[in-house]
């Protein structure tokens, strides 16, 4: 019998379990969009009640979690084709398992999150010469100076920035530009409408309180270009362009994409 590991995290950090649970559930299907055995292993060991999430979170939300991981994997792999020994920094990594799915045996990888999350992460995932954990807030400056960058650098962040005010995210992006010009940044965003939907249909439906609510809703992606003239949008990735089963999910997914409810942006800095 697997010994369950108890958790003691803040309200926002608790949300890290929801997409991981979604990956684990998808991996168990007969014909999954994505297989993540590490996610399955972690969820089986965690002492966390997912019954409310299972009962209340709809299929479209689960699909968005899967598509977000698939998009992230795709961008990382394309980056590694161009720069096999490059550096990737996973900001607000939580229990994310992108490294396990994309490691080419040559890259340099950093997983960064708050100390309590990193402590939990170490109970499930290990460090190595090429894969290091950083226990810090992404808003701190020191880690940006401490990481050893080989070749080009790609920053990725999923399920993080919309928990902060826009000005806070902007200031962080400008620090990245100043310290690592020429780098890339991939992250997901919600529109103001998407933020309200997620807070109601995902956060509250999962049994979490308003302390876990999303804060920042991006009006339109071009707004980010006003932050600094050095920023450019390399690509935009929507979640429901393909691989969506069921007529209702297809229709609602296409509406979500059309309205920009939730998607991913890849910036050149």
Q: What is the 3-state secondary structure (H, E, C) of 67-129?
A: HHHHHHHHHHHHHHHHCCCCEEEEECCCCCCHHHHHCCCCCEEEEEECHHHHHHHCCCCCCCC
Closest by CA to 142, choosing from 175, 181, 111, is 175
Is 3 inside a domain boundary? Answer: no
Whether the pLDDT of residue 208 is over 60: the answer is no
CATH, residue 233? 3.40.50.150
Of 52-66, 100-114, 116-130, 222-236, the poorest mean pLDDT is in 52-66
In a domain, 226, yes or no: yes
In a domain, 107, yes or no: yes
Residue 146 lies in a domain: yes
Containing structural domain, residue 23: 11-268
Q: How confident is the model at residue 112 (pLDDT cuts 50, 70, 90)?
A: very high
Total number of domains constituting the chain:
1
**Crossing angle of helices 59-82 and 247-259, rounded to 10°:** 60
pLDDT at position 52 over 70? yes
Question: Which pLDDT score is estimated for 211?
Answer: 57
The verdict on residue 207 lying in a domain is yes
Lookup: tokens for 144: 């940006």
Q: Is residue 180 situated within a structural domain?
A: yes
CA-derived radius of gyration, the chain? 18
> Band of the pLDDT at 149, cuts 50, 70, 90?
very high
Is the pLDDT at 29 greater than 90? The verdict is: yes
Please report whether residue 183 resides in a domain.
Answer: yes
Please state the pTM of the whole predicted model: 0.90
pLDDT for 150 equals 87
Confidence category of residue 212, pLDDT binned at 50, 70, 90: low
Residues in the chain: 269
pLDDT of residue 66: 93
Element (H, E) at 56: helix 51-56
Mean pLDDT value of segment 218-224:
94
Does 72 fall in a domain?
A: yes
Q: Are 6 and 47 in contact (CB under 8 A)?
A: yes
Q: Is the pLDDT of residue 41 over 60?
A: yes
pLDDT of residue 30: 93
Answer yes or no: is pLDDT of 250 > 90.
no
pLDDT at residue number 157: 98
Highest mean pLDDT among 167-176, 203-212, 237-246: 167-176
């Amino acid at each position: 019998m697997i010994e369950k590991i108890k958790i003691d995290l803040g309200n926002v950090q608790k949300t890290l379990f929801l997409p991981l649970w979604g990956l684990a559930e998808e991996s168990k299907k007969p014909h999954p969009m994505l297989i993540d055995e590490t996610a399955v292993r972690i969820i089986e060991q965690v002492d966390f009640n997912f019954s409310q999430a299972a009962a209340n979170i709809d299929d479209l939300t689960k699909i968005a979690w899967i598509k977000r991981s698939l998009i992230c994997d795709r961008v990382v792999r394309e980056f590694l084709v161009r720069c096999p020994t490059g550096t990737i920094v996973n900001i607000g990594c939580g229990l994310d398992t992108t490294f396990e799915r994309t490691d080419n045996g040559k890259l340099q990888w950093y997983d960064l999150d708050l100390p309590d999350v990193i402590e939990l992460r170490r109970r499930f995932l290990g460090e190595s010469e090429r894969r290091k954990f950083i226990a810090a807030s992404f808003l701190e400056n020191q880690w940006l100076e401490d990481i050893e960058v080989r070749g080009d650098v790609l920053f990725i962040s999923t399920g993080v920035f919309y928990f902060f005010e826009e000005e806070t995210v902007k200031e962080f992006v400008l620090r990245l530009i100043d310290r690592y010009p020429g780098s890339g940044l991939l992250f997901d965003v919600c529109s103001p409408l998407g933020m309200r939907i997620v807070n109601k249909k995902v956060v509250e439906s999962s049994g979490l309180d308003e302390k876990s609510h999303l804060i920042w809703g991006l009006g339109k992606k071009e707004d980010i270009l006003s932050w600094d003239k050095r920023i450019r949008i390399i690509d935009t990735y929507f979640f429901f362009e393909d691989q969506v089963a069921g007529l209702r999910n297809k229709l609602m997914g296409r509406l979500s994409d059309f309205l920009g409810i939730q998607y991913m942006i890849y910036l050149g800095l």
